[in-house]
Amino acid sequence: MAGRPKIFDEQEAVAKATEVFRDKGYDTASADELLCAMGIGKGSFYLAFKGGKRELYIRSITQFSEYFYQKFSESIAISEDKVQFIRQFFLNLAEASDCDKKRGCYLGNALVQLSEKDHEIKKITALLLKKLQALFTEIIRSAQENGQITSTEDPEIIGWHLSNLWNGIHVTRRMESSPEILKSIIKMNLKILS
């Protein structure tokens, strides 16, 4: 006899759990809070997520990562000025009052909180950063070739610099919430795009 059929949308349930993980963090998000947010019972939960909370968290990071990268790359693709898009993306990080999907800080937080404790989580977040770095590199290389920026630094290193900035700002935001200070830090780092 087959198990009971699923009566909930897993992708939607994972998205709801992501909100709990974003607000509470992995360690402090309780099973009851997650189940309540997802709108499912324990039986359905363990049927869908046999690895429990850890599997749910990994699915959450994976789904969020894929969504973030897809939206980010689509937005860059339709942007008339890709370098300016990147500048504005980083400057917007300074103004964010909280973590949201467009800024990707859920992933930045996952990288800081759990990547050293959990190899699989580290692998997922590292993969996103490498994809971002490759996208940044491609844009910088093109901007150098068409004279949009004058920097002669290796585009790959600039791509890594921007990935590092993305990581760093998420860490710094935990200590400093002043948009003016954050914006000054970001502007200093973005001088490489001149």
Tell me the C-alpha to C-alpha distance, in Å, between residue 179 and each of 123, 140, 182, 186.
Answer: 31, 26, 5, 10
Q: What integer pLDDT is reported at residue 93 of this predicted model?
A: 87
Tell me the one-letter amino acid at 136. F
Averaged pLDDT for residues 88-110: 71
Task: Confirm whether 177 is domain-assigned.
Answer: yes
Tell me the C-alpha to C-alpha distance, in Å, between residue 134 and each of 20, 69, 92, 131, 174.
Answer: 30, 12, 21, 5, 27
Task: Confirm whether 131 is domain-assigned.
Answer: yes
Domain harbouring 163, CATH code: 1.10.357.10
Task: Confirm whether 42 is domain-assigned.
Answer: no
Q: Over the stretch 9-29, which tens digit does the pLDDT of each residue have?
A: 899 999 999 999 988 888 889
Task: Confirm whether 107 is domain-assigned.
Answer: yes
Contact 42, 35 (CB under 8 A): yes
Task: Confirm whether 20 is domain-assigned.
Answer: no
Number of domains in the chain: 1
Residue 57's domain comprises 52-193
What does pTM read for this prediction? 0.81
